[in-house]
């Protein structure tokens, strides 16, 4: 039986990450020239990560890490979705503050993605755009501006997922942004081979574990994670919701935030997945929540995903996945971790009698969003 697009796109990620970094290395000098020129010209500069849906969650995932990585440039990063920018540009865009908008886009044709950059160009005096996209033929990639105002980074063709849900496009656009903003690009490039190896390990583990997990009669799914894993948890929850056609409500939160009301979702049909931080301080809170969840009587299966082999994690979880990156930043763990979420969503889709490539045959959701009308915007005088 021929594999679906979605399964191929999940499985190709480790090799695609390596290929993408090799391609990005060719553009390394252009990236540095572009960023350095903006830094030299302006003092305070605002960086906005933007996109819609999964593309927005790329920014939410990498924000805590990149914010620290570029602090010495004197830049501040925010993550604001294109949907919010389009709905309320006057709330988020400041005319007098030099702004770099980093757009993440699989197709580059979503109406809000185009509207967001057009509004920003119209409203901001010193506006720069970086487009990270999987589609060289998309409207965003084809925008024409002066060289010093625009940087377009196009991913390898394989990253332009054909399945409805974004999988390899999410992780490879995320990788591209990290490479772009990394201080030592050669060092980061070398780490990608380690990430890829860890990704292959997770793929292998998932092939054995997930067929068992999808047999549980669950009705809800919760992902918990802190720092970069909060954004990853949001993407993980969406992936399950999309690929199962909304049949299983999902939720995400931080390990501390979950106690403040959301924990009421728990019952015996609720599966919980906890992404544990490698950071010693954050991990203490993650472990506390894991232990608390383990002792809950009214819950479903508890899955722990950790970059470190840990006896406590093994003791206080029903299932665990050890990702072989024990000394690395959580940001790097996010890549193999997301493979678990994608595989779980894919297998549950099949188990539910759906087609993962098109889990919404009635068109409730589409690969490129439909039904959006963009209205003209005039600034208030």
* Residue 368 pLDDT: 66
* Residue 362 pLDDT: 72
* Residue 3 pLDDT: 85
Q: Is the pLDDT of residue 235 over 70?
A: yes
* Residue 245 pLDDT: 94
Contact 24, 177 (CB under 8 A): no
Measure the CA–CA gap between 37 and 42, rounded to whole angstroms. Answer: 9
Contact 106, 139 (CB under 8 A): no
Q: Which fold has domain 201-351?
A: Rossmann fold (3.40.50)
**Long-range contact set of residues 358-364: C-beta below 8 Å, sequence gap at least 24:** 358/163, 358/164, 359/164, 359/165, 359/242, 359/243, 359/244, 359/245, 360/164, 360/242, 360/245, 364/245, 364/246
Q: Do domains 5-183 and 201-351 have the same CATH topology?
A: yes
Q: Is the pLDDT of residue 250 over 70?
A: yes
Measure the CA–CA gap between 315 and 200, rounded to whole angstroms. Answer: 25
Higher per-residue confidence, 98 vs 376: 98
* Residue 82 pLDDT: 97
* Residue 381 pLDDT: 52
Q: Region 105-128: what's the mean pLDDT?
A: 95
Q: Is the pLDDT of residue 125 over 80?
A: yes
Q: Region 48-75: what's the mean pLDDT?
A: 95
Measure the CA–CA gap between 64 and 129, rounded to whole angstroms. Answer: 21
Q: Is the pLDDT of residue 16 over 60?
A: yes
pTM score:
0.95
Which of 283-314 are b and which e, b meaning 16 or more Cβ less than 10 Å from the residue's Cβ? beebbebbeebeeeeebbbbbbbbbbebeebe
Contact 177, 153 (CB under 8 A): no
- Domain definitions of the chain by residue range: 5-183, 201-351
Higher per-residue confidence, 370 vs 111: 111
Q: Region 240-264: what's the mean pLDDT?
A: 97
Q: Region 120-145: what's the mean pLDDT?
A: 95
Res. 361 pLDDT band, cuts 50 70 90: confident
Q: Region 356-377: what's the mean pLDDT?
A: 78
Q: Is the pLDDT of residue 366 over 70?
A: no
Tokens standing for residue 147: 């060289």
Q: Residues near 169 by Cβ (< 8 Å), separated by ≥ 6?
A: 9, 54, 106, 134, 155, 159, 160, 161
Q: Is the pLDDT of residue 369 over 90?
A: no
Res. 236 pLDDT band, cuts 50 70 90: very high
CATH number of 5-183: 3.40.50.10490
Q: Is 28 exposed, middle or buried (0-12, 13-18, 19+ CB in 10 A)?
A: middle
What is the average pLDDT score of the chain?
95
Q: What angle, rounded to 10 degrees, do the helices at 168-181 and 330-351 form?
A: 170
Q: If we measure between CA atoms, which residue out of 57, 55, 35 comes closest to residue 47?
A: 35
Query: Which strands sit side by side in the sheet containing 127-133, from one edge to the other?
Result: 75-79, 45-50, 99-105, 127-133, 150-154
């Amino acid at each position: 039986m021929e594999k679906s697009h979605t399964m191929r796109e999940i499985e190709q990620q480790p090799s695609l990450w390596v290929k993408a970094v090799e391609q990005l290395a060719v553009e390394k000098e252009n990236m540095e020239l572009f960023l350095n020129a903006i830094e030299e010209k302006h003092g305070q500069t605002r960086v906005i990560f933007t996109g819609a849906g999964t593309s927005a969650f790329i920014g939410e995932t990498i924000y805590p890490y990149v914010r620290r990585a570029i602090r010495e440039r004197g830049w501040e990063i925010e993550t604001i979705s294109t949907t919010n920018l389009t709905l309320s540009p006057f709330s988020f865009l400041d005319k007098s503050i030099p702004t770099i908008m980093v757009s993440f886009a699989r197709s580059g044709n979503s109406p809000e993605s185009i509207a967001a950059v057009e509004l920003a160009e119209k409203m901001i005096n010193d506006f720069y755009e970086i487009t990270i996209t999987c589609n060289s033929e998309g409207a965003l990639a084809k925008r024409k501006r002066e060289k010093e105002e625009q940087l377009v980074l196009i991913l390898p063709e394989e990253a332009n997922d054909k399945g409805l849900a974004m999988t390899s496009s999410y992780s490879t656009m995320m990788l591209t942004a990290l490479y772009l903003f990394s201080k030592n690009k050669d060092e980061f490039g070398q780490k990608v081979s380690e990430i890829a190896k860890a990704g292959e390990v997770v793929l292998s583990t998932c092939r054995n574990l997930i067929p068992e997990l999808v047999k549980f009669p669950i009705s809800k799914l919760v992902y918990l994670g802190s720092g970069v894993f909060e954004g990853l948890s949001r993407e993980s929850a969406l992936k399950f919701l999309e690929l199962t056609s909304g049949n299983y409500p999902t939720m995400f939160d931080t390990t501390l935030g979950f106690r403040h009301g959301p924990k009421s979702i728990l019952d015996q049909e609720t599966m919980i997945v906890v992404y544990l931080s490698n950071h010693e301080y954050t991990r203490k809170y993650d472990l506390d929540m894991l232990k608390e969840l383990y002792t809950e009587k009214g819950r479903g299966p508890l899955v722990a995903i950790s970059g470190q082999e840990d006896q406590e994690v093994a003791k206080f979880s029903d299932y665990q996945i050890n990702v072989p990156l024990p000394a690395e930043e959580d940001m790097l763990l996010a890549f193999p971790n997301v493979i678990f979420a994608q595989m779980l969503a894919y297998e549950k889709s099949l188990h539910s009698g759906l087609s993962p490539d098109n889990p919404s045959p009635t068109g409730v959701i589409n690969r490129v969003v439909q039904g959006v009308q963009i209205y003209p915007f005039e600034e208030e005088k």
